[in-house]
Amino acid sequence: MTYKLSWGAALAALLCCGGAVAATQTVTFSNLTASATVATPLSLGDSLLVNTLVTTETGPLSESVTFTLASGVTGVTGNASWNASAAPGPRLTGVNIDILNSSNAVVGSDTFAGSLGSFAISTFSSSLTPGTYKLVATGTGVTTSSLDIAITAVPEPGTSAMLLAGLGSVLLLARRRRNVD
């Protein structure tokens, strides 16, 4: 009996069983001054979400999250959004988000991308090596403050090339089996 592997089955097998499932680490803050440490290292495709909703205080925003990038990760990409509505007054102003290395040097920073409705939006794209980092958000909470930050660990270019080569090998094998039958 000859087993036929369809293109769809080959792709499904590779995607289903060929790699780990990405995880999301979530940190929630309800104060303008807060810090946390994420215990599990971020592997390829994993995300870190920082959700802030402060309804009981105003003043300086100073939040930090310490995280680690696992082997094979060479950077992060992501975005942030915060309520900057002008009515009845700005909610969160002067927002700046940086990534610091273990020596507290800035190795990445957000770039303001614009506004959508009452929300301001910024983006990230930083090349980083595996190790420990700190995500730091600063600004001023004028009234109720809402800030959401999401970063995702991205691979080194060689990892993507290896994934494509593996996919090509599986598809070539499936095609050869199909032609034999």
Q: Quick check: 164 pLDDT over 60?
A: no
Q: Is 52 inside a domain boundary? A: yes
Alpha helices (runs of H) in 18-156, residue ranges in sequence order: none
Q: Distance (Å, rounded) from C-alpha 17 to C-alpha 19? A: 6
Q: Distance (Å, rounded) from C-alpha 73 to C-alpha 46? A: 10
In this structure, are residues 54 and 29 in contact, taking their beta carbons and an 8 Å threshold?
yes
CATH number at residue 140: 2.60.120.380
Q: Is 93 inside a domain boundary? A: yes
**Full-prediction pTM beyond 0.85?**
no
Total domains in the chain come to: 1
Q: Is 20 helix (H, G, I), strand (E, B) or coil?
A: coil
Distance linking the first and last C-alpha atoms of the chain: 10
Residue 46: pLDDT band by 50, 70, 90 thresholds?
A: very high
The domain of 150 spans 22-156
- Mean of per-residue pLDDT scores for the chain: 81
pLDDT at 156: 57
Per residue in 48-63, pLDDT (tens digit) is 999 999 988 999 999 9
